[in-house]
Amino acid sequence: MPTNLNIDDKLLNKAKRLGKHKTKREAVTVALQEYIRRFTIDELFKLAGKIDYFEDYDYKEARRRRNGAHRHSGVVGNLPKTAARPVGSRTRKAA
C-alpha cells in the first residue's frame, strides 16, 4: 500500500548507507522490522522474574504419565508382541 512520509533525507541516506540497502524502501522496511524486534525483546525482558516455575519439574516424567507409559525395569522387550501400545504412542513408518 503506497504511503507518503516526510522523512529527513540525511537520516534516511545514512540508514541506507550503513545498511548497504539499495533502495529507500528497503532501508525503511529493515528499520521498521528492527524497531519491532527490539520492542518485542524489551517486552519479554519485562516478564523476567514474573513467571513462577518449579525448578525440580521433570517434564519427561510428566510426559510418561500423560502418555500412560511407566518406567520399565530396564529390560527391553519384556512385553509380549501382542501388547497394546500406550495411548498417544506413534509408530514409525517404514523407510
C-beta neighbour count of 31 within 10 angstroms: 17
Composition of the chain by helix, strand, coil, percent to 5: 45, 0, 55
Q: Please report, as a single letter, which amino acid is at residue 5.
A: L
pLDDT, tens digit (0-9, with 9 covering 90-100), for 6-36 = 999 999 999 999 999 999 999 999 999 999 9
pLDDT tens string 63-87: 888 887 655 545 555 555 555 566 5
30 burial level (CB within 10 Å; 0-12, 13-18, 19+): middle
Domain positions in the chain:
1-67
Q: Which residue has the higher pLDDT, 4 or 56?
A: 4
Q: Whole-prediction pTM value? A: 0.49
Dig out the grid coordinates for 6 from the structure.
Answer: 516526510
Cell of 65: 504419565
